[in-house]
Amino acid sequence: MIPTRQCEDLDAEIDSLLNDGYRLDMIMPADAPRVALLSNGTDQIRLVDNANPQSEIRNPKSNGRAGMEYRDLIPDRVGGRLIASHILIQNAGEVPDYVHFHKLRFQMIYCKAGWVRVVYEDQGPPFVMNAGDCVLQPPEIRHRVLESSGGAEVIEISAPAEHETWVEHDLELPTERLNPDRDFGGQTFVRHVADDVSRYAKGAVEYRDTGILRASGGFADVRVAKLQETERTRMERGEPTFIFILMGEVGFSYTDKTGRLAEGDSIILPAEYETNLTSLSNSEVLEVRFHDL
C-alpha cells in the first residue's frame, strides 16, 4: 500500500520532495493536476491536492502540466469518456517538459497557431509542428515538447478524460532506431503536415484527411473542412462528432436546436441526430468523428 499525503499546494509539495531526493513518476490529470506519485528508490508517496478536488477540475481555464494553460472545450466530458483542451503556451523558447507517456485509448494534437517543436519515440529527430499540422499520439508512446513560439496554441483531444501521465526516466529521445510503423497498443504514430497533403471535395466542401482513422484502429476520423460563405454540409447521425472552429463562423441546427459558433468555439454534435452546418463566412473547421467512443 502506497502511503497517501494530503496537501494544499501540489506543486510546492512536489518541489519539496524533489529537493529531498525523490523523483516524479506520475501526475494526473494533465489539465489540472491533483494527484502525483513520487519515489526515491525505496519508498513511494502518493500526493493528493485538497485544494483541487475532482469536483472543481472542470473550470473553463486552468494551469496544467509543464506550465501550459488549458481551456476546457467539453465541460461534461461525455460522461468522462473524452476531454478536449485548447492549450496555450505563453512564452517563447524551451518548454519545461520531460520525456513522458500517457495511459489512454486515444490522443491527438492539432496545432492551431504558432509552432511547437516535439520529439517522439522511434519517429526520428525532433520536428516542428506548424499551424495546421497534427499528430496522433498512440497509447504510451514516449514523447516530449521541447520548445515553442510565444503564444502557441494547440488542440488536444484525449480519451478517456482522466488518464495518468508517467515520467520516462530511462529512455532518451530521440531514439537511435527509426520505426515509423511500430504498433503502440494497436495504433501507429501519425504526423500530418498540412502543406504536404492533397485535399478532396465532397459536394461544395473541401476536406483535408489526416490519416488518423486507419492509424487509430478505427477509433476516430479526423478531418479539416474548408467552407466558403453560405456553403452547407450535413453531418450524418450515428457517431458523436467534435467540432472546433479554426476560422470564421458557422451556424448549426438539429431537431429544434440552432446556434452559432465563432473561431475558438466548439461543440459535440449528438450521435442520434443529423446536424446541418452552414458557413456564415469563409470558415475552417476541425472535425473529429468518433467511431468507438
Residues in CB range of 46: below 8 A, 6 or more apart:
2, 3, 4, 5, 35, 36, 37
In this structure, the answer to whether residues 183 and 127 fall within a common structural domain is yes
pLDDT tens per residue across all 293 residues of the chain: 899 999 999 999 999 999 999 999 999 998 889 999 999 999 999 999 987 655 444 556 677 777 889 999 998 899 999 999 999 999 999 999 999 999 999 999 999 999 999 999 999 999 999 999 999 999 999 999 999 999 999 999 999 999 999 999 999 999 999 999 999 999 999 999 999 988 888 877 899 999 999 999 999 999 999 998 887 787 777 789 999 999 999 999 988 889 999 999 999 988 888 888 889 999 999 999 999 88
Buried b (16+ CB within 10 A) or exposed e, 170-192: eeebbeeeeeeeeebeebbbbbb
CA 192 to each of CA 77, 140, 195: distance values in angstroms, whole numbers, following the listed order? 26, 19, 9
| Cα 225 from Cα 202, distance rounded (Å) | 10
Residues 52 and 63 in one domain: no
pLDDT at site 53: 56
Is 222 in the same domain as 148?
no
Number of domains in the chain: 3
Q: What is Dmax (Cα atoms) for the chain?
A: 64
Same domain? For 185 and 213 the reply is: no
C-alpha cell belonging to residue 109? 494534437
Cis peptide before 139 (omega within 30 of 0): no
Q: What is the pLDDT of residue 75?
A: 85
Domain end position, chosen among 194, 215, 230:
194
**CB-CB contact of 114 with 149 (8 Å):** yes
Distance from C-alpha of 192 to C-alpha of 240, rounded to nearest angstrom: 23
Residue 201 has what pLDDT?
Answer: 86
Both 118 and 225 in a single domain?
no
Q: How far apart are CA 238 and CA 292, in angstroms?
A: 11
Q: Which amino acid is at 165?
A: T
Cα 262 off chain centre by: 20
Tell me which residue range forms the domain holding 283.
Answer: 197-290
The domain boundary residue, chosen from 194, 210, 237: 194
- Answer yes or no: do 170 and 63 share one domain: yes
- My answer on whether 74 and 183 are in the same domain is yes
Q: What pLDDT, on a 0 to 100 scale, did the predictor assign at position 54? A: 54
268 and 216, same domain (yes or no): yes
Entry field: residues in the chain: 293
